[in-house]
Structure 1
Amino acid sequence: MEITEIRKLLREQNQRIGILENENQLLKKEVLELKHTVAKMSDNISHYEEKIIDLETSDVKPNARRLLLPITDSPSTTPVPVDPVAFYAYMSANEASPSAHFTLKFDVVKTNLGNAYSKHSGTFVAPVSGAYVFTYTIYAQTRGAIFLNLFVNDAVFGGSISDTQETGDWDSETSTVVVSLNKGDDVNIRTTQASSTILSYHEAKTTFAGWKISNA
């Protein structure tokens, strides 16, 4: 009876040993796989650390930064767009012996980009700050003189004289100025004194024009 039980116990122990050995083999396999994974991850980490060191100790880092971040320490080479502002107008009829300080009104408007020139007042009002070019051509009749000034906010900025001395002689003068204007500044042309008729007809027009060349 005792021998039978001993044999039974031995069989059970052998079965348990077999189970433990199988589990041990599985655990060893899992441990080996984990070791392999850890080793691979360590290699990857070392590779990235070397890359970071290279970026910190070479010219690659500034170059990489320039690709990722905006450059703030150098001027932009991209031109700033200029909104179109331009006008061209002429007088539809002669102005006979205008008085001093008379504002010329160029009432036929052919171009008015930006709608900054008024044919009713003869005045251009800057819609935005910037640099502008203004030019005008004045025709004077026989035996007389026209003294003109270009005004910016009631201050003289330019001028011209159309003077004729002989019978049958007509004279024209053209003046061009470049002006830096603030938004809301006004520009017009006025007589200082006049002893002649300002001519403007189909063969010789008295004109006024201007355009913006740059932003402020």
Structure 2
Amino acid sequence: MTWTILTLVFAAICLSLSMADEMKLMKNEIAVIRNLLREQNKRLTRLEMENDALKITVTKLENDNLLMKDRLVNISDENEALKQEVSDLRRHVTTIQEYSNIENLDKQEEPSGAFRETAVHRRLLLSDAGSPSTTPLPVEPVAFYAYMSKSEPTPSNHHALVFDVLKTNLGNGYNKYSGTFVAPYAGTYVFTWTININPHGAHWINLMVNDAVVGGTLADTQVTGDFDSDSNTAVVVLSQGDSVILRTTSASDTANIHVDSRAFTTFAGWRL
């Protein structure tokens, strides 16, 4: 009986030791698995950060690509405008040469006899409308249209707005780097503009001719998520060389002039 009990006790001790070894092995395996999980989480976090950085880079490249496309379009438009100017200048030169030939013909010494009669007959056939003193040179059309490529964060008082994406510039009166239009000819001009404002912001925008205020808008938003878009039009008489800009008249520390791909902040004008 005693031997049997000892045998059972020994078997129990062996079983307990075996279970303890197995528990130890399991704990070690769990620790290894936990370490692997931590490493995997670190790798996933690092990959997510790299992915976010790549997304930012791709977005920047896409924006740069859009800006480059706009620049190419602007260059193409300016090239077409220059071609048109060259063609107009050639036409003007031809017209001036024709006027000059007519004047020279009238100033020539009249011949005698049959040649004199022929010369008189030729002068009689000339139209008075061809005289430089009665027919002014044609004035080329003037028109421009531009919009902002990026938002203006909280611009200060008397800040000139620059519409840097120039789509039309007949007469080359608008400067997309300064935001200024200079009248190439005297006449009556129409100007129109649209200003977008972010939520909880307000801006007074004035149309300036030289130093005089000739038009204005108030763009104002009140609640979260509320954007405002205000437009106005002005008809003004300009002398050659007069300058026209849009500028802020009162500053707000919460107001951004807002730009996105669906709502353009624009400035345009043309000569009647």
> Normalized against structure 1, the TM-score is what?
0.61
Question: CA separation in 2, counterparts of 1:128 and 1:112?
Answer: 14
Q: Which has the higher helix share?
A: 2
Structure 2 counterpart SS, 1:124: strand
More strand by share: 1
Tell me which residue corresponds to 2:119.
none
Write the distance in 2 (CA, Å) between the matches of 1:127 and 1:96: 32
In the alignment, what sits opposite 1:148? 205
Q: CA RMSD in A?
A: 2.2
Match of 2:186 in 1: 129
Number of the residue aligned with 1:83: 140
Shift of 1:194: 2.9
Match for residue 248 of structure 2 among 176, 185, 191 = 191
Distance in 2, matches of 1:133 and 1:81, equals 20
How far has the Cα of 1:107 moved from its partner? 0.3
* Residue of structure 2 in register with 1:168 after alignment: 225
> What's the CA shift for 1:187?
0.2
Unaligned runs of 5+ in 1: 1-68, 71-77
Match of 1:27 in 2: none
Q: Which residue of 2 aligns with 1:97?
A: 154
Partner of 1:201: 260
Cα distance between partner residues in 2 of 1:212 and 1:159:
20
Q: Secondary structure at the match of 1:134?
A: strand
Aligned length: 141
Q: Which amino acid aligns with 2:160?
A: T
Which has the greater radius of gyration? 1
CA deviation profile, 1:180-211 (whole Å, cap 9, x unmatched): 00000000000011320001121111000000
Amino acid at match of 1:199: H
Q: Which runs of 4+ in 1 moved over 6 A?
A: none
Q: Distance in 1 between matches of 2:185 and 2:268?
A: 17
Unaligned stretches of 5+ in structure 2? 1-126, 129-134
Choose from 135, 138, 158 the match for 2:195.
Answer: 138
Per-residue deviation at 1:81?
Answer: 5.3
Secondary structure of the 2:241 match is coil
Residues 120-158 of structure 1 deviation map (CA, whole Å, 9 limit, x = unaligned): 110000001000000000000001101110000111000
Per the TM alignment, residue 95 of structure 1 is displaced from its structure 2 partner at its CA by: 0.3
Write the distance in 1 (CA, Å) between the matches of 2:259 and 2:251.
16
- 1:116 corresponding residue in structure 2: 173
Give me the whole-angstrom Cα distance separating, in 2, the residues matched to 1:93 and 1:158. Answer: 24
Per-residue CA deviations over 1:45-79 (Å, capped at 9, x if unaligned) read xxxxxxxxxxxxxxxxxxxxxxxx97xxxxxxx9x
- Residue matched to 2:98: none
TM-superposed deviation, 1:82: 4.7
- Report the 3-state secondary structure (helix = DSSP H, G, I; strand = E; otherwise coil) of the residue aligned with 1:93: coil
Of structures 1 and 2, the one scoring higher in RCO (CA 8 A, sep 6+) is 1
Alignment partners' CA distance in 2, 1:104 and 1:136 = 11
Indicate the SS of the match to 1:142.
coil
- When normalised by structure 2's length, the TM-score is 0.49
Partner secondary structure for residue 152 of structure 2: coil
